Structure 1
Amino acid sequence: MADDEVVGRKKRGPRAGGPKRRSFTAEYKLRIVEEYERLTEPGAKGALLRREGLYHSHIID
């Protein structure tokens, strides 16, 4: 059995029970990128990222 094979509803392996990756809808991504690009005040972009729980790499990729 592979490390990441699912048995029933329980996952086995190194990430079993670990955190799940977040996924973002296309609408959310577009809204955040548009808002990020409109911000001009010093610190405003960082405040947006903190409010949304995002990292700079989420926006720039």
Structure 2
Amino acid sequence: MGEKKGPRAGRPKRRVFSPEYKLAIVEEWEQLTEPGARGALLRREGLYHCHIQD
């Protein structure tokens, strides 16, 4: 393969989330009620709050 060329050359690729992964994360998110539990989920999965839409 060669070097990439273009405006995104050298940048990391965007992560792609499967529908199954998204559903599992949203289901887990909705079950968490303890203070800090949702933040811990985001940190564990390497996600940001904007990835989860309330």
Percent identity between the two aligned chains: 74
Larger radius of gyration: 1
Aligned residue among 33, 48, 51 for 2:44:
51
For structure 1, the 5+ residue unaligned runs are 1-7
Report the TM-score when normalising by structure 1: 0.79
Tell me the TM-score normalised to structure 2 length. 0.88
Aligned alpha-carbon RMSD (Å): 1.6
Kindly indicate whether structure 1 or structure 2 has the higher relative contact order, using CA contacts under 8 Å at least 6 residues apart: 2
Find runs of 4+ consecutive structure 1 residues off by over 6 angstroms: none
Unaligned residue ranges in structure 2 (runs of 5+): none
Q: Report the CA distance between 1:9 and its aligned residue.
A: 4.5
Among 7, 32, 39, the alignment partner of 1:14 is 7
CA distance in 2, matches of 1:29, 1:9: 33
Structure (1 or 2) with the greater strand fraction? 1
**Number of equivalent positions:** 54
